């Protein structure tokens, strides 16, 4: 069985002090839910503090991005070795990075390979725009993004990769994709693409999250779908009570 994984993407919210205080309050709330993997992804400057505060808690830490080069004249960027020891996961290909930082499929693929080379586990986000969705292009866009991100990644690495289906029109908008639509894209397009690339047994082992206006009151619905293995959560991960309720709902829905 795939272990459910819920990751909180804090985006550009919370100072270092706020991040540390948050996880200190969160950790005891999640202690009983060992059947669900919980991950928080704070801003880069809070990674060290959060990592220290979470030692021994079982809660994982992720970064929100990385550069593909190991070092160099890339002002403002963070290299994979800089994240070693601070982050287990790294979000790659978030639609906000694709839109505001000009990240292309090719850059995302380089980032995925760089993360893996340094022992970091990518959470690869893919998603279609509203225009693409309304034009009936969802499967083609998502299948294309998955193939591009994984170009040159071998099957042995797939256990270290999490995919996240995040329809752009559902992120931070309150307009979530229904659980049936999310299941259809995750099972019917993403896992099917993984099966074509790596075979059924590898594809069945890869965890795939849904992301886009996930809240405590709709979490159980998503998690009741057979191919949805967790969630990548923005807004609802910023409050201790909401985040804890997401984990509780995931544990209940999956019976873990
Ligand atoms: C996200 O940022 O990945 C996200 C899904 O945001 P929200 O939950 O706020 O829609």
Residue 228 contacts by C-beta under 8 Å, 6 or more apart in sequence? 179, 182, 183, 186, 208, 209, 210, 222
**150 touches 126 (CB < 8 A):** no
CA of residue 211 to ligand 1 center, whole Å? 6
Whether the model pTM is above 0.95? yes
Protein residue closest via CA to atom 6 of ligand 1 = 234
Looking at residue 103, its pLDDT comes to 98
Distance, in Å, from the CA atom of 157 to the CA atom of 175, rounded to the nearest integer, reads 34
Q: Residues lining ligand 1, judged by CB closer than 6 Å?
A: 9, 166, 171-172, 211-214, 232-236
Looking at residue 175, its pLDDT comes to 86
Q: How many CA atoms lie within 13 Å of 234's alpha carbon, on the beta-carbon side? A: 20
Region for residue 56 given its phi and psi (left: phi exceeds 0; alpha: psi -120 to 50; beta: otherwise): left
Average pLDDT per 10 consecutive residues for the chain, totaling 256 residues:
97 98 98 98 98 98 98 98 98 98 98 98 98 97 98 98 97 91 98 98 98 96 98 98 98 97
Q: Which atom of ligand 1 is nearest to the CA of 235?
A: 9
Angle (CA) 134 109 49, round 5° = 100
Burial code (b: 16+ CB inside 10 Å, e: under 16) for 167-186 equals: bbbbbeeeebbebebbbbbb
Looking at residue 130, its pLDDT comes to 95
Looking at residue 41, its pLDDT comes to 99
Q: Which atom of ligand 1 is nearest to the CA of 125?
A: 3
Looking at residue 239, its pLDDT comes to 98
CA of residue 195 to ligand 1 center, whole Å? 27
Q: Which domains does the chain have, with CATH numbers?
A: 5-254 (3.20.20.70)
Q: Is 166 among the residues known to form the active site?
A: yes
């Amino acid at each position: 069985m795939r272990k459910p994984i819920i990751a909180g993407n804090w985006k550009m919210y919370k100072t270092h002090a706020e991040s540390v205080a948050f996880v200190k309050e969160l950790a005891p709330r999640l202690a009983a839910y060992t059947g669900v993997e919980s991950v928080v992804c704070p801003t880069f400057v809070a990674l060290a503090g959060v990592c220290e505060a979470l030692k021994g808690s079982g809660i994982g830490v992720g970064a929100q991005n990385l550069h593909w080069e190991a070092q160099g004249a890339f002002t403002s960027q963070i290299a994979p070795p800089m994240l070693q020891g601070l982050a287990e996961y790294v979000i790659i290909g978030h639609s906000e990075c694709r839109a505001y930082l000009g990240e292309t499929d090719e850059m995302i693929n380089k980032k995925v390979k760089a993360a893996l080379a340094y022992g970091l586990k990518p959470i690869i986000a893919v998603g279609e725009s509203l225009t693409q969705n309304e034009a009936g292009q969802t499967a083609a866009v998502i299948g294309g993004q998955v193939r591009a991100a994984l170009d040159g990644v071998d099957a042995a690495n797939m256990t270290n990769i999490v995919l996240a289906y995040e329809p752009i029109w559902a992120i931070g908008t309150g307009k979530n994709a229904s659980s049936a639509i999310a299941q259809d894209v995750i099972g019917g397009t993403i896992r099917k693409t993984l099966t074509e690339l790596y075979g059924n047994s590898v594809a069945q082992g890869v965890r795939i999250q849904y992301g886009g206006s996930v809240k405590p009151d709709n979490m159980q619905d998503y998690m009741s779908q057979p191919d949805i293995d967790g969630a990548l959560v923005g807004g609802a991960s910023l409050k201790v009570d909401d985040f804890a309720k997401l984990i509780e709902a995931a544990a209940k829905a999956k019976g873990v």
